Structure 1
């Protein structure tokens, strides 16, 4: 696989990944009401990072934003922060990767400079993907824990609403995964774009570092 193809594929995967995590962050279906034991109901509750919604059987959806920040659970605030950090890093990575593309000529920019930009954008993509995957996974873990507790309460006769995974979680996982893979591909492309002399210098530095640590 040539460096140009690897770099281009990494760029498009990163672009699709940032679109996925933005969509996931904005969606209201991070958790939705579990209808396994009650498939026929007039309303379905759902909740996202920014508001909670009630969907009626007629299709009408009424949403109420979370007006306060201090009153929100720490988990929701942490997930918000992780997703926003992922979006910011991925956006910066997209901008950097545009200038790093070999098919775009900017003045007399050398291959070494483009390789460094490619590595920078790759690292940003990878970190953004990890942030998104972490935020979605933490939220999903809380749903699992609450589902188990609510199931026990329901079996004891308590009337509680159980929640399960919403589509936003899967969109976030896919988006974060695409960013992570795109970042790895950009880093691989950087190695191939490095001039031979610079590559030999880096390899020699790695060998010396390995000797010192052994």
Structure 2
């Protein structure tokens, strides 16, 4: 899979996951009434993170928000916090990933900057997905605990021979939406992190070579001109005129009348 394809697929999965997390957080069916062995079937109760609802057999539904914060169970407040943190991180990661897409060119942004932004958004998506999965799992564990406690209380009267009326709650549709949404967000974040490696520019390493530059060494000696062969420095012998007063270079640049005789 190419880098662009991996990045785009991860981006789309993250969008779907974030939309699912928002939908699950706003749904009312986090817990639904268990109608198995329930003597009352004309009333159906279900609850969400923000309100509880009652639906009658006639089709009339009445919902009542939770008007208190401190009076709610600590686990419910923790689930609220996890879902909100997951949504906020997912929204920030989505905003960053839009500018990090390789198919979108913004000004003179380098590939290294896009790689860093892709990695950042991928990490945010991973944390967002983990928060959503953790929040839904905590709520599901609370439901399971309350379900079995209600079941034990239901058959505890008269040695289990008398059944008392207990309202038990089971998993609602919002839990499954939250699990799927958290998984999609998590997978999308992993794919964004994988795409980051393809966006990072490859660095070429060169071995250091020491080079010593040597200037030409010219020795001025009396006698004829002598040039050395090979790669070594060239040695030139200059003629001396007028008893050492002038050299050959000075004679060529400033000739006198006696030099043409």
Q: SS of the counterpart of 2:64?
A: strand
Which of 1 and 2 has greater Rg?
Answer: 2
**Distance (whole Å) between structure 2 residues aligned to residue 13 and residue 78 of structure 1:** 26
RMSD of aligned C-alpha atoms?
1.3
How big is the shift at 1:59?
Answer: 2.0
TM-score (norm 2): 0.74
1:182 aligns to 2:184 (yes or no): no
- Which structure is richer in relative contact order (CA contacts within 8 A, separation 6 or more)? 1
How big is the shift at 1:39?
Answer: 8.1
Q: SS of the counterpart of 1:53?
A: strand
Structure 1 3/23 Cα, relative in aligned 2: closer, same or farther at 3 Å?
Answer: same
User: By percentage of residues, which structure has more helix?
Assistant: 1
**Distance (whole Å) between structure 2 residues aligned to residue 39 and residue 68 of structure 1:** 31
**Distance (whole Å) between structure 1 residues aligned to residue 60 and residue 5 of structure 2:** 46
1:135 aligns to 2:135 (yes or no): yes
How big is the shift at 1:58?
Answer: 2.0
**Distance (whole Å) between structure 1 residues aligned to residue 115 and residue 39 of structure 2:** 55
Q: SS of the counterpart of 1:109?
A: coil
Deviation digits for residues 2-51 of structure 1 (CA, Å, limit 9, x no counterpart):
01000000000000000001000000100000012238711111011000
Structure 1 103/137 Cα, relative in aligned 2: closer, same or farther at 3 Å?
Answer: same
1:124 aligns to 2:130 (yes or no): no
Among 170, 175, 188, the alignment partner of 2:176 is 170
**Distance (whole Å) between structure 2 residues aligned to residue 39 and residue 109 of structure 1:** 67
Aligned length: 199
Deviating above 6 A after TM superposition, structure 1's stretches of 4 or more consecutive aligned residues are: none
1:153 aligns to 2:153 (yes or no): yes
Structure 1 regions of 5+ residues with no counterpart?
Answer: 201-214
**Distance (whole Å) between structure 2 residues aligned to residue 61 and residue 183 of structure 1:** 39
**Distance (whole Å) between structure 2 residues aligned to residue 147 and residue 110 of structure 1:** 56
Q: SS of the counterpart of 1:197?
A: coil
TM-score (norm 1): 0.90
**Which residue does 1:192 correspond to in 2?**
198
1:114 aligns to 2:127 (yes or no): no
**Which residue does 1:52 correspond to in 2?**
52
Q: SS of the counterpart of 2:108?
A: coil
